[in-house]
Amino acid sequence: MGVLEKEILAPVSGTYNLENYEAIRETFSWDDAAKGLSFEKTGKINAAYETIDRHVDEGYGDKIALHYVDGDERRILTFKEVKEKTDLYARVLRDNGVRKGDRVFVFLPKTPECYISILAIIKIGAIAGPLFEAFMEEAVKDRINDCKGTVLITDKEMVKRVPQSEIQSLHTILDVENIENTVYEETAADPVEWVDLEDGMLIHYTSGSTGKPKGVLHAHRAVIHHYVSGKWVLDVKDDDVYWCTSHPGWVTGSVYGLFAPWLNRATIVIQGGRFKAENWYRLIAELKVTIWYSAPTAFRMLLSQGDILKNYDLSSLRHVLSVGEPLNPEVIYWAWEQLGVRIHDTWWMTETGGHLIVNLPAEKIKPGSMGRPFPGITVGILDEKGKELPRGSVGQLAVRTPWPGLMKEIWGNQDRFDAYFKYEGWYVSGDLAYQDEEDYVFFQSRDDDMINSAGERIGPFEVESKLIEHPAVAEAGVIGKPDPIRGELVKAFITLRPGFTESKELLEEIRVFVRNNLAAHVAPREIEVLEELPKTVISGKILRRELKEMEILRTKKSN
Ligand code: WT7
């Protein structure tokens, strides 16, 4: 521990929306953070109004709201056009019987219509349930059934993956094409439904360690969190072109792909199609993307493609952010050398509704750390009794309640909701971390991935990061293998980069590399080469738990 702290990256010179961050941390209040949103003046809130319509009313209707890119297709919509389309969709939903509080799902690819549908649902006071585009029947069914969704917006292709007969509550399926072709009188009433800060707006399904996915419900108040974190962490300004690579079916894609940038009047990029390094680089160069929010897996994929980035002019990029899984220092160094930018890690969860631990653009970065608490957020590292541990100790990463983005409930399941709040006054994340004297938080693992070898606590992330710094290692998953003497020993599963072949010598070299660069007790005692590592289908996170299960099964067999 602490090995990765030695490198400290200073902020790149420039002007940022939040520069006096230490002073703000002293004086911050969430009430102040809401200033700039219109409900502060009018007393009436609707998250969709704040996100889009407000800008039209403030005279920015002609500003470009979005660039849509898919293959050779290009579309541009202004804020006024997004508002008008949102109004149209909202009226169609009303005419189909949707009322305040109803759950309406969206099952669409990453297109402008997907974003507009989500806003339209929220505009009439209903709760939007965006679904990831790659879901198959069972995933679609489970989610809509859980919160008894009544209406679904989809298209001709994706509707084939909607098993309507198995979803009793679903009375209407709307095809976007038909919505687009509906015509209303110019004089039709404004569809905005004014609601309370506590009313529900958005439901995202996320996995727990057991059972079916849980429906995390967010309230309209969350836009306060989205707005201020968009301003300070994304650092959105009027001339920025902002691209978040996540689909709105995931909370990153809705909160930081739609709400936070648009609440700050950004021009956003919506890109369809699958990941391909050349396409991503071409998109940045073509649209002169200035702010880019993605994930470590994507950065690692780009990194592994080597020099092709030299074929593109990526000089427009001024601010890059990451979320979702540990950001390896190697990736930060790569971006620094190849792109001339720092990657700013951010930590939060579906349940937290917005950033909680961040690297502000004006602050120094410590590679290996997720950053410092956002203003107004207090982090605690807790022991098993819920008592705060001293700086430097690894424990349960918890956050003082409440804050505006915090989920309102887990749909229909009070027990699962209460499990997050088992210690009075704290939200418990399920992550393990430590915090240093300067408030930087260092992720270790999920609560159950931690390795304990001969009484030493070892974070697999640190070992994996080191392993992939070795030129032969493409990816690594590190687990604690049960061991009769040491409790656990460190075992690494790796994949090799093209051009390397497995040999005893190579594996020993890799082990020594970790031992020499990190510490002897964390160097893997065993290294096994696999064709590929088990990963989550969607986010590509390496499934250490699966590696561990596989290992335990083998040990049992051989005994
Ligand atoms: C879990 C939450 C909403 C963000 C996208 C994922 C892990 C998240 C980081 C980070 C290391 C991270 C945590 C967390 N995680 N950000 N910067 N470094 N781990 O949201 O699917 O709700 O998952 O993702 O383990 O608990 P999610």
Per-residue pLDDT, 372: 98
Expressed in angstroms and rounded, the spacing between residue 452 Cα and the centre of ligand 1 is: 23
Per-residue pLDDT, 487: 63
Expressed in angstroms and rounded, the spacing between residue 366 Cα and the centre of ligand 1 is: 18
Expressed in angstroms and rounded, the spacing between residue 493 Cα and the centre of ligand 1 is: 22
Tokens of 105: 């799902």
Angle in degrees, CA 449, 452, 458, rounded to 5: 70
Domains of the chain listed by start with CATH number: 451-558 (3.30.300.30)
The CB density around residue 300, as the number of other CB atoms within 10 Å, is 20
Report the distance separating Cα 155 and Cα 91, nearest Å: 18
Per-residue pLDDT, 210: 54
Per-residue pLDDT, 4: 40
CB 483 within 8 A of CB 489: yes
The side-by-side arrangement of strands in the sheet containing 200-206 is 172-175, 151-154, 103-106, 127-130, 200-206, 214-219, 409-410
Taking the alpha carbons at both ends of the chain, their separation in whole angstroms is: 34
Ligand 1, atom 1, residue with closest C-alpha:
349
- Where residue 487 falls (left for φ over 0; alpha for ψ -120 to 50; beta otherwise) is left
Q: Which of helix, strand or coil describes residue 243? A: strand
Tokens of 472: 């032969």
Ligand 1, atom 6, residue with closest C-alpha:
324
Phi, psi of 79 (to 5 degrees): -60, -40
Give pTM, 2 decimals: 0.85
3-state DSSP of 426-477:
EEEEEEEEEECCCCCEEEEEECCCCEEECCEEECHHHHHHHHHHCCCEEEEE
Using most ligand atoms within 8 A of CB, pick from 256, 259, 323 the residue to mutate for ligand 1. Answer: 323
The verdict on whether omega for the bond into residue 402 sits within 30 degrees of 0, i.e. cis, is yes
Report the distance separating Cα 134 and Cα 140, nearest Å: 10
Amino acid present at 396: Q
Per-residue pLDDT, 6: 43
Per-residue pLDDT, 454: 62
Going from the first residue of the chain to its last (559 residues), give the mean pLDDT of each consecutive group of 10, the final group possibly shorter: 53 92 96 94 95 98 98 96 98 98 98 98 98 85 95 98 96 98 90 98 80 87 98 97 95 97 98 90 97 90 88 97 89 92 95 98 95 98 97 97 98 96 96 96 82 67 89 94 78 96 97 84 92 87 90 81
Expressed in angstroms and rounded, the spacing between residue 325 Cα and the centre of ligand 1 is: 5
CB-based burial of residue 298 (10 Å sphere; 0-12 exposed, 13-18 middle, 19+ buried)? buried
Per-residue pLDDT, 5: 40
Amino acid present at 74: R
CB 317 within 8 A of CB 284: yes
Exposure of 264 in the CB half-sphere (CA atoms within 13 A): 29
* Ligand 1 and 252: CB distance under 6 A: yes
Using most ligand atoms within 8 A of CB, pick from 349, 351, 407 the residue to mutate for ligand 1. Answer: 349
* Ligand 1 and 255: CB distance under 6 A: no
Per-residue pLDDT, 455: 53
Show Cβ contacts of residue 555 under 8 Å, excluding neighbours closer than 6 positions.
Answer: 481, 482
The CB density around residue 455, as the number of other CB atoms within 10 Å, is 8
CB 307 within 8 A of CB 278: no
* Ligand 1 and 431: CB distance under 6 A: yes
Per-residue pLDDT, 517: 76
